[in-house]
Amino acid sequence: MGQATALLFQDVAVYDPPKGHTDVAALARCPVSFVCVPTPTLSNGRCDLSFVYAAVSQVAPILSDKQVLVIRSTVPPGTVRQLEESFPNTHFASNPEFLRAHRMAEDALRPSRVVIGADTVYSRQMLLKTYHSRLGRRVSYVVTDSVTAEFIKYAANCFLATKVTYAQELRKATRRIGAHYEDVVRAVGLDPRIGPGDEWFIDGLTDECLPKDLEAFTSLLRSWGTDRRLLETVRQLKDEALPVRAAK
């Protein structure tokens, strides 16, 4: 994700000690900095935010009140607002990524949409200006608050995980009766309410994020006391539809 983000914006400074980029001061000249760190799943299903807080703790102190720190990693709704409370002198925003694992560079340069979640006008304008400078207005922008932006990422990935699980069940059924799976999903995908997509052919993909985010979002729904029956069922089937791989 970090490499894909850097590819889009080109003239970037990078702080990534494990990969040899150890000069955090280099970010001091950047009007916008993106946090692109892993958020693995804890044993209780929750999202591990330790890498996010570690990165923010390193970067926030060197930023001025004219710079914006953008959380690109997938985080639970409300994370940016918690960061705003912990680091009150820093401008934050949420900018979830929607990169396909096998097409990260392509999706970075030609995104299907750009979601910007900011709780202040300043952060919103700075992030929009940054994206407009590279992508212009040729993509769809969804500008909202940080909580909604964080929710959008989970909603999207869990819907895709559901679509993948459904696709797996359809394929088993077509094989059982001798129907042509490719023709079925092509015809179904032509319905604009459903749509085509790689998710119909998940065997050709490697996407460790869908099962991880499905696990985390289901855990969040459980903690909120909201209905989660559909996603609980998808989660129970995910090992068959999407083998879990260690998050990078």
User: Is the model's pLDDT at 146 over the cut of 70?
Assistant: yes
The predicted pLDDT at position 203 comes to 59
In a 3-state reduction of DSSP, which class is residue 162? helix
What's the whole-model pTM score?
0.90
Token pair recorded at residue 24: 């955090």
Confidence of residue 207 (pLDDT cuts 50, 70, 90): low
User: Is the model's pLDDT at 131 over the cut of 60?
Assistant: yes
> How far is Cα 13 from Cα 170, in angstroms, rounded to an integer?
46
The predicted pLDDT at position 244 comes to 44
Residues of the chain with CATH 1.10.1040.10: 152-241
User: Is the model's pLDDT at 246 over the cut of 50?
Assistant: no
State yes or no: is 209 an active-site residue: yes
What is the architecture of the domain spanning 152-241?
Orthogonal Bundle (1.10)
User: Is the model's pLDDT at 113 over the cut of 60?
Assistant: yes
pLDDT tens track for 161-199: 899 889 989 999 999 999 999 999 999 999 999 999 888
In a 3-state reduction of DSSP, which class is residue 237? helix
* Residue among 36, 47, 158, 209 flagged as catalytic: 209
Confidence of residue 240 (pLDDT cuts 50, 70, 90): low
- The pLDDT of 200-218, averaged and rounded, is 77
> How far is Cα 217 from Cα 65, in angstroms, rounded to an integer?
33
The predicted pLDDT at position 235 comes to 86
Mean pLDDT computed over every residue of the chain: 90
pLDDT tens track for 59-105: 999 999 999 999 999 999 999 999 999 999 999 999 999 988 778 88
Structural contact between residues 165 and 237, judged by C-beta atoms closer than 8 angstroms: yes
> How far is Cα 51 from Cα 159, in angstroms, rounded to an integer?
26
Structural contact between residues 39 and 213, judged by C-beta atoms closer than 8 angstroms: no
Residues of the chain with CATH 3.40.50.720: 2-145
pLDDT tens track for 3-35: 899 889 877 899 998 889 999 999 999 999 999
What is the architecture of the domain spanning 2-145?
3-Layer(aba) Sandwich (3.40)
> How far is Cα 122 from Cα 198, in angstroms, rounded to an integer?
37
